[in-house]
Structure 1
């Protein structure tokens, strides 16, 4: 088999990748990839893992042969990808369609998977969909860009340097800033966490003060999500621990809604919750109410602030367009702005750039940097990937150990100005 058939297909959030992948796997490759005609391909993707997780939730089995009778849901992102790769190779395919294989993986597991895939390149054809140019496998010998379902630039396309975002001006002021907040918004003291006897976190000590900009890092399965849910009030294991939230000990009578009103929160999964035909303007305004859509008449001041946010993003002329018409990158940008619209004391952004192309990720990073510098909100940015250009002041890193992940604080040289 000639190694030159390994092909990199660069994509953005408007590439129509899903339809193109289905076309390939059904045996209908375009002219540029006719060498795949008559060959059997399999898909390696986060979407496939999500389907297996849903199957497991519905029928108590995923269809994968997993070690130790563990459920796929109990695996880390890296372990899931390893199990899926073993499963699809058992079918002895001629080629693997790799859909952003390194998404949601920490640095160490990315290197492990990269080594495995490069070893496979001597035996199987690899077709790699790529959103982030840095993820390109070194075995790729021909390349192209998927433009609205069509391949362009074949066979030697080279991705352009990421352009700066079009954000201009400053972020709008708060509608009604919360007052009388303590200097320390969140305090963890010797916090431990375990599930079913398995230690997750060990003696975590962490303080988040007003206006600080933190990056939360850690390997897959190190406990980042567990740590975040102990702040947002969604993890009952926070009770009985030495955790103070906004000046009150956890479990001292505060309601989950009292906590949530002081927190802006974004995770990519929230995108799927907005299924109605909401306009961009209404989506932003709904951030004032923390509602899934807007169902009451907004005030004049809310409309004015929404207009300022849309002008910052460069979308004011599109304010009446449907949220569903946006690309994935544009949706993320709008939802990050929505999480910030009320200037919460604490803004948590959980993997806001996961699955985005380089350009869209740069837009989100630029907006987050603006929000950090131009507001009094403390920001926690959670990511498996070190984003170029992100200007966090501090890093809180979870370091796995047999007794649970330990916390390490690092002061960055990229300080808020």
Structure 2
């Protein structure tokens, strides 16, 4: 059971002359599921709101509703400021609507290739020929349709603030997770919207970028753009004026920020793991003994004139647990792609994987069978039409989706992992319809179903609340205590690192520091 403690908050009065949005007794439906009932909320010009609450409380759905991506089942919704703005500036354009005055930065990007015939695929960023079928950062930003041409956020201002200037000639597909997040923020600002919606904008940003974010929010608010952002209770920027607490599809608290005490917002209790069941699942297949899990000697990767990795030497022995750290764009994802079989330049370097030199006859799929992999970029390309159970079962074949008839034994094992992780109720739900926290845990289960010798976790806790993060860390530590699993763990947050970490590798500009 979860218990919450809150502070009392004062009643909020509405200034009708600056009213942007007003929801009265609104019920919100998302993917045929009723998420909110009898919601009341209003936003005035000059207000900036933080939405806080546990994973699955409805924060992302509420932002989607404002953006027009979720439907109103009943209730009353008013947009007086937007309607007035359209009347004054865009009444001659019948296609112009309020949603063009709102921009949203969500968890997934929507980049397309140059021919606009299909989405990018995961390995495309590592294949030089295919990666050229993508806009550069500069071209992409130049193509954005600006809502308010006289607004303060020009391409130059946005790229300088978000430190994208050195990336302007880089293809979109080659950006790291953190660089992509900064680009999405820049693209949203260049439109100069009336309202900016941010869904956990700090996810994927390194320490330096997170420190700059507070100042960025201040600059955005002073430029006249109103902000609503979903964020952890402990990471509310100073310029936020109001806080709304969400719980199980209800907005249970609305108050001014100075009245909200993050220390009073917490969960009580821990999610327990059935250790006997975990032992049985981990012992279902015999473990293989290796001497060298990863061996790299003077590994260098270059794309054109850009040096991505420069003289990397790295030895990972069986049973070692490594933290891999570095700033956004330091080369972490490229380093991991050499291990996971996704980067063809691995064959041009001296690399040993599971005691075998790279290129000695093993196939990519033979390598992948020994590796469990979780990453935000990986999830970006996963087909959203799969059920959670199918996503997990696809881990047996290392495919993005289930492309063979489901096997009874594999499905049963996948469901056992879901039960162990307390997510079995979502087995038949589409992965796109479940909370981000459930999506992340499904990806962990997908990585573990085949009992890999090496587990690579690239920012696995993005989107998880504190309770789920603790569950995740405890599970990893328990698995490490029961097996000789080798681990590579990537995170910008020191507090997310499992206690079982024994070694550390830090990259800076492609070099080991």
TM-score (normalised: structure 1):
0.80
Secondary structure of 2:251 counterpart: strand
Whether the 8 Å CA contact 1:185–1:208 is kept in 2: the answer is: yes
2:465 corresponds in structure 1 to: 357
Partner of 1:8: 50
Query: How far, CA to CA, are the matches of 1:225 and 1:43 in structure 2?
Result: 28
State how far apart, in whole Å, the 2-side matches of 1:226 and 1:354 are. Answer: 20
| Deviation at residue 44 of structure 1 after TM alignment | 4.6
Q: Give 2:11's aligned residue.
A: none
2:105 corresponds to which of 45, 49, 58: 45
Residue in 2 that maps onto 1:24: 66
Q: After superposition, what is the alpha-carbon deviation per residue over 1:350-387, rounded to whole angstroms, capped at 9, x for unaligned?
A: 22222333333333223222222222110112223334
- Is 2:226 the partner of 1:166? no
Higher relative contact order (CA 8 A, sep 6+): 1
1:164/1:362 contact within 8 Å kept: no
Residue number in structure 2 paired with 1:218: 326
Aligned partners of 2:435, 2:182: CA distance in 1, in Å? 30
Q: Which residue of 2 aligns with 1:129?
A: 229
Structure 1 pair 5–33 and aligned structure 2 pair: CA distance change class (3 A): farther
Q: Which residue of 2 aligns with 1:107?
A: 207
Structure 1: gaps (5+ residues): 409-417
Correspondences of 1:138-287 after superposition (within 5 Å): 138-147=238-247, 150-155=250-255, 156=259, 158=261, 160-163=265-268, 165-170=270-275, 171=278, 172-179=281-288, 181-268=289-376, 269-270=378-379, 273=382, 275=384, 278=387, 280=389, 284=392, 286-287=394-395
Distance 2:189 2:393 in 1: 48
Quote the offset at 1:272 in angstroms. Answer: 6.0
Does the 8 A contact of 2:59 with 2:230 survive in 1?
A: no
| 1:242–1:112 distance in 2 versus 1, CA, 3 Å | same
| Distance of aligned partners of 1:36 and 1:217 in 2 relative to their CA distance in 1, 3 Å threshold | farther
3-state SS of paired residue (1:339): helix
Compared CA separation, residues 89 and 311, structure 1 to 2 (3 A): closer
In structure 2, the gaps of 5 or more residues are 1-17, 19-43, 86-97, 117-133, 145-154, 160-164
2 CA distance for matches of 1:231 and 1:237? 11
| 120-129 or 335-344: bigger deviation | 120-129
Q: 1:97 to 1:320 in 2, by over 3 A?
A: closer
Deviation at 1:133, TM superposition (A): 2.8
Contact map agreement 1:277 1:323 (CA 8 A) in 2 = yes
Aligned positions, number:
396
- Are 2:405 and 1:295 equivalent residues in the alignment? yes
* Cα distance change of structure 1 residues 221 and 144 upon mapping to structure 2, 3 Å threshold: same
Q: Which residue of 1 aligns with 2:490?
A: 382
2:487 is paired with a residue of what secondary structure? strand
Partner of 1:415: none
Q: Which stretches of structure 1, 4 residues or longer, exceed 6 Å deviation after superposition?
A: 1-4, 28-37
Q: Which stretch of structure 1 is more off in the superposition, 267-276 or 347-356?
A: 267-276
Alignment partner of 1:117 is 2:214: no
Structure of greater Rg: 2
1:413 aligned partner: none
Judge conservation of contact 1:343–1:375 (CA < 8 Å) in 2: no
For residues 125-165 of structure 1, what are the alpha-carbon distances to aligned partners after superposition, in whole Å with 9 as ceiling and x for unaligned? 54242343333102223201244665320015555225554
Q: Is the 1:44–1:101 Cα contact (8 Å) retained in structure 2?
A: no
Do the aligned residues in 2 keep the contact of 1:350 with 1:383 (CA within 8 Å)?
yes
Q: Report the Cα distance in structure 1 between the residues aligned to 2:235 and 2:343, rounded to whole angstroms.
A: 34
RMSD: 3.7
Q: Write the deviation string for residues 212-255 of structure 1: whole angstroms up to 9, x where unpaired.
A: 21121111111111100100111111113121111111111211
CA distance in 2, matches of 1:116, 1:271: 26
Q: What is the CA–CA distance in structure 2 between the aligned matches of 1:158 and 1:129, rounded to whole Å?
A: 17
Inter-CA distance 395–130: structure 2 relative to 1 (3 Å threshold)? farther
Alpha-carbon spacing, 1:190–1:35, altered in 2? closer, same or farther (3 Å): farther
Q: Output one character per residue of 1:3-33: Cα deviation in whole Å (capped at 9) or x when no partner.
A: 972221114443444553354357x999999
Question: Is contact 2:473–2:498 with CA below 8 Å preserved after alignment?
Answer: yes
